[in-house]
Amino acid sequence: MRDRLLPLIEEALPRFSKGQKLIAAYIREHYEKAAFMTAAKLGSTVGVSESTVVRFATEIGFEGYPQLQKALREMIRNKLTAVQRMEVLGDRLGNSDLLSKVLQTDIDSIKKTLEEVDGAAFEAAVADIISARKIYIIGIRSAAALSSFMNFYFTHIFDNVRNIDTASTSGIFEQLLRVGEGDVFIGVTFSRYSKRTLKAASFAKASGAKVIAITDSLGAPIAGVADHVLVAKSDMASFVDSLVAPLSLINALIVAIGVAKKEEISDTYEKLEGIWAEYNVYQTDEENNDATI
């Protein structure tokens, strides 16, 4: 319904009350702000009651205002520029106690992820990764931090992992030259969605690989080519992409794979501990004590 939200409002205009027409006008002109307003806030902004806003939502086919608000957020997910996000930021968070507000937003994102993530898709993704001939991981722009984190731990677990260098578009496809049946391609992308990630996922899919999408919505472009979609909420709290919930989901993915390959990983980390000790990779307790003397 989110794709037809504005046309729905246009179609219903003749039967709206005067107050509902005010709401419709505001949403059409300022939908990016309305998406983050409570029913009471939207009502006070246009000069109508909260109940009028709720009736407006049901009039155009939603169960209530939360469903309308969700449709608005989905509609704008990939449309807001960084400048527009900054404009929304002031209305949404204000200027006081930003620390608590941003942290609470991230907590809410993890809760929503826990409620909406598909457990069956998660388990299937784990199974496909474990049995993969080769694993390709891609994350572009802010999502690169997530793909790098995943790659760091996957290289401890597997010897068949490739974190794709995304410096150039042609380079991406050169690295995917031999992708095919038996391989797994993991694409990490959040709004605003990367075109290069989608193109790479489509290439891998057409070549016979399984595609796992880690993204923020079943409506994300990459979901259309994915075998398994793992949804992690990335709330647009500001011009900064919140990666807390996606990172938590990736952490769960790594842990689940680790549990399934426990014996192999134990041997690997036993060897790594020896290497780390020999080459002084980590600060030791003795060195910490010496530093305080």
Highest mean pLDDT, choosing among 222-231, 258-267, 283-292: 222-231
Whether residue 218 is contained in a domain is answered as yes
Is 105 domain-assigned? no
Residue 230 lies in a domain: yes
Whether 280 and 233 share a structural domain: no
CA separation for the pair 172, 211 (Å, rounded)? 16
| Whether residues 123 and 190 fall in one domain | yes
Give 263's pLDDT tier (boundaries 50, 70, 90): confident
Query: Domain holding 24: CATH number?
Result: 1.10.10.10
Q: Containing domain of residue 279, as a range?
A: 263-293
- In a domain, residue 85? The reply is no
Average pLDDT over residues 19-40: 88
Q: Cα(220)–Cα(214) distance, rounded to whole angstroms?
A: 10
Q: Are 35 and 69 in contact (CB under 8 A)?
A: yes
Distance CA 255, CA 243 (A): 18
> Do 205 and 268 reside in the same domain of the chain?
no
CATH number of residue 202's parent domain: 3.40.50.10490
The CA distance from 183 to 113, in Å, is: 27
Give, in degrees to the nearest 5, the angle at Cα 273 between 269 and 275: 115
Whether 91 is covered by a domain: the verdict is no
- How far apart, in whole angstroms, are the C-alpha atoms of residue 228 and residue 226? 5
Query: Does residue 103 belong to any structural domain of this protein?
Result: no
Tens digits of per-residue pLDDT, 8-24? Answer: 888 888 899 999 999 99
Give the residue among 11, 23, 18, 8 at the shortest CA–CA distance from 56: 23
The residue with greater pLDDT, 175 or 142, is 175
Counting Cα atoms < 13 Å in the Cβ hemisphere of 120 gives 1
Token pair recorded at residue 170: 């042609």
Same domain, 256 and 269: no
**237 and 156 assigned to the same domain:** yes
Identify whether residues 69 and 148 lie together within a single domain: no
Answer with the one of 24, 57, 76 that is the final residue of a domain. Answer: 76
Q: Percent of the chain having pLDDT more than 90? A: 55
**Which residue, of 54, 76, 98, is where some domain finishes?**
76
Claim to verify: residue 63 and residue 163 sit in the same structural domain: no
Q: How far is Cα 211 from Cα 234, in angstroms, rounded to an integer?
A: 21
- Which phi and psi (to 5°) does residue 186 adopt? -110, 115
Q: What pLDDT, on the 0 to 100 scale, is given for residue 235?
A: 65
Q: Are residues 255 and 276 in the same domain?
A: no
- Please tell me whether residues 238 and 152 are part of one structural domain: yes
Whether 86 is covered by a domain: the verdict is: no
Q: What are the C-alpha distances in Å from 190 to residues 68, 136, 233?
A: 22, 18, 9
Q: Which two tokens stand for residue 198?
A: 């989608």
The domain boundary, picked from 17, 52, 76, lies at 76
Beta strands in the chain (DSSP E): 135-139, 161-163, 184-188, 210-215, 228-231
How many domains does the structure of the chain reveal? 3
- Across all residues in the chain, what is the average pLDDT? 87
Same-domain status, 136 and 274:
no
Same-domain status, 277 and 254: no
Q: What is the mean pLDDT of residues 256-284?
A: 88
**Would you give the DSSP letter of residue 91?**
H
Burial class, 145, CB count within 10 angstroms (exposed 0-12 / middle 13-18 / buried 19+): middle
Q: What single-letter amino acid sits at 264?
A: E
Q: Are residues 242 and 277 in the same domain?
A: no
Q: What is the pLDDT of residues 96-126, one digit of tens each?
A: 677 887 888 889 889 989 988 899 999 999 9
Query: Is the confidence at residue 2, as pLDDT, over 50?
Result: no
Taking the mean position of all CA atoms in its chain, how far away is CA 96? 27
Answer yes or no: is 62 within a domain: yes
